[in-house]
Homo-oligomer: A and B are copies of this chain.
């Protein structure tokens, strides 16, 4: 299918092509790159030779000359990959088109290792660096006055002049709230992650603001805890105790939502008939495995990655673009857990 030209192990240089076509190296180069003027016949001959020999220009040599490498570094501390992978895929979408390749580095959350990787990337002359993380928290930048542009995706540098692309946690919370209100719920509880997480606070604020605007308050306290199913189970019990008439729960993550769903079911509350449930993350194995399947907020991680890459490309191209934070709107994925009763 891929044609008959078998690649041989020996590397073919432009010298070989030129020799095979009976022209000088310079001419071969021009023919291959479509530069300069030359007889059509000559160009054909060179191209044919190149094809026949399986010639691939050596990007190291090209880059050396052009002063470019057409590579960027992607540094992540999200070993587990849940969040950084979609970001990376998005980045690849945007970079791949431009023939830019990505060096992947996982810091294992170790600052020493991170420093080390950044050094290595710079030594390799990457043209830019994308830094991604597990959650949208502030983190120290990877270095000041680096010789290449840096974009933080799904994480934020403490240095305000750095460029960060983050999800709209607050908007996501608001989206969930409006959806629940629209489906007729009014006694809405909230079980979420640790209060020290900016993301948890923002999601809670998004919910709170929408409820306030509707003249409502959250059912029970806003329950900050852990990002785990176990906490979801506990939180649901606390919530049922504080607000027995609760008719909806917005959860700070899909894992928490699963825990909540389980407790609700065990306490005899039907989801969604008695209590509607909205998660956060749209982590499919979790959200689809939940019973019933979970309506949840999707942070559009892929888009975050795409945007980060585009910002980086602009910066590499020398366009200012301006520092600061870009917030990517979240979306709501509708499933059974909030179906109208």
Q: Which residues of A are at the interface with B, using a C-beta cutoff of 8 A?
A: 2, 6-11, 56-61, 63-64, 67, 69, 71, 74, 79-82, 85, 88-89, 92, 99, 101-106, 108, 115, 120-125, 143-147, 228-230, 255, 258-259, 262, 285-286, 288-289, 291
- Judge whether A124 and B101 touch: CB under 8 Å: yes
Residues of chain B lying within 8 A (CB to CB) of residue A255 = 285, 289
Which secondary structure dominates where chain A touches chain B?
mixed
Distance in angstroms between the alpha carbons of A288 and B229 in the assembled complex: 9
Residues of B within 8 A of A262 (CB): 291
Give which listed residue, B8, B106, B146, B288, contacts A88 with CB less than 8 A: B106
Copies of this chain present in the complex amount to 2
Contact, CB under 8 Å: B289 / A59: no
Note all chain B residues with C-beta closer than 8 A to A259.
Answer: 289
CA distance A95 to B125 in the complex (A): 19
Contact B88 A289 (CB under 8 A): no
Nearest CB in chain B to that of A61: its residue: B64
25 contacts between A and B (CB under 8 A): A2-B115, A6-B145, A7-B122, A7-B145, A7-B146, A8-B147, A11-B147, A56-B122, A58-B64, A58-B125, A59-B124, A59-B125, A60-B63, A81-B81, A81-B85, A92-B104, A99-B120, A101-B103, A101-B105, A101-B124, A103-B104, A104-B104, A228-B288, A230-B289, A285-B286
The answer for the CA separation of A79 and B88 in the assembled complex, in Å, is: 10
